[in-house]
Amino acid sequence: MNEPLHIGKIVRNARIFNPRNSQAGSMSDDALLAAVDRLFGLLEGRGSEYLLAGDIALLQYVDGRSSEKIELIVAPSSLDQIPEIYGFEDLQIDLLLTSNPLFEEVRRRYATRQRFAEREIPCATPEGLVLLKLYALPSLNRQGNLARVALYETDILMLMDRQKVDVEPLFAELKAHLSPTDLASLRGITDEIRQRIQRFGGQFS
């Protein structure tokens, strides 16, 4: 059995190996690991409605890159209970608020619990992660953020291949949140991904 992922170590390694990070030495290893543990202890202790998403959640399902950012889907009511989360101990925390109906849908319907070294944490499922990435792609394309588009498309490919994610039910979810033009573009992307998986016989695993 593989050892549980350690969120604090993932964040630490991302800081260390990011050459553009001028704050890499701003916290000791012990302080950083303790800060991550305190963050999730705080969320649990206050009974917060949250879900871990982003690259750290992705690592539960596919090999991926390290990330300094801890991405959480959070109910606005929970933020009132944890005002400390803003600027929490020099951690980079991205908050996706459930006032966005799609984020709330992911938190309610695409959640599981995953064992990390720190503790068991509510975590997005593979389907939930694909849904979030598909939802973000049209906006990233309009911004011309091609590097992030390429990363998201690779993540979707890996999840479809390794976790056998069926995207068809996800398009039914997206229909209420994206324009027909955006949906058509996303269908083209996922069709191409399916073709690549078939062409290479699932060798992305």
Helix (H) or strand (E) holding 39: helix 29-45
Q: Is residue 58 part of a domain?
A: yes
Residue with token string 């049209």: 138
Q: Are 89 and 36 in contact (CB under 8 A)?
A: no
Tell whether 108 and 21 lie within a shared domain: yes
How many domains is the chain built from? 2
Strand partners, 70: 93
Q: Are 157 and 134 in contact (CB under 8 A)?
A: no
- pTM value is 0.93
Tell whether 77 and 169 lie within a shared domain: no
Q: Is residue 29 part of a domain?
A: yes
Tell whether the torsion through CA atoms of 79, 81, 84 and 88 is positive or negative. negative
Tell whether 24 and 41 lie within a shared domain: yes
- Give the residue from 105, 142, 145, 143 showing the smallest Cα distance to 125: 105
- Give the residue from 129, 147, 151, 135 showing the smallest Cα distance to 60: 129
d(CA 53, CA 124): 6
Single-letter residue type at 55: D
Tell whether 78 and 173 lie within a shared domain: no
Tokens representing residue 161 in the block: 């291949």
Q: Which of 89, 119, 149 is a domain's end point?
A: 119
Confidence of residue 26 (pLDDT cuts 50, 70, 90): low
> Distance from first CA to last CA of the chain, Å, rounded?
18
Tell whether 110 and 137 lie within a shared domain: no
168 DSSP 8-state letter:
H
Confidence of residue 29 (pLDDT cuts 50, 70, 90): confident
Tell whether 58 and 12 lie within a shared domain: yes
Angle at 79 between CA 75 and CA 83, to 5 degrees: 170
Report pLDDT for 157: 96
pLDDT digits 0-9 by tens, 90-135: 899 999 999 999 999 999 999 999 999 999 999 999 999 999 999 9
Tell whether 108 and 140 lie within a shared domain: no
**Structural domain boundaries, residue 20:** 7-119
Confidence of residue 24 (pLDDT cuts 50, 70, 90): very low
Tell whether 139 and 161 lie within a shared domain: yes
Tell whether 39 and 136 lie within a shared domain: no
205 has a pLDDT exceeding 70: no
Q: Is residue 103 part of a domain?
A: yes
Phi and psi, residue 120, nearest 5°: -80, 130
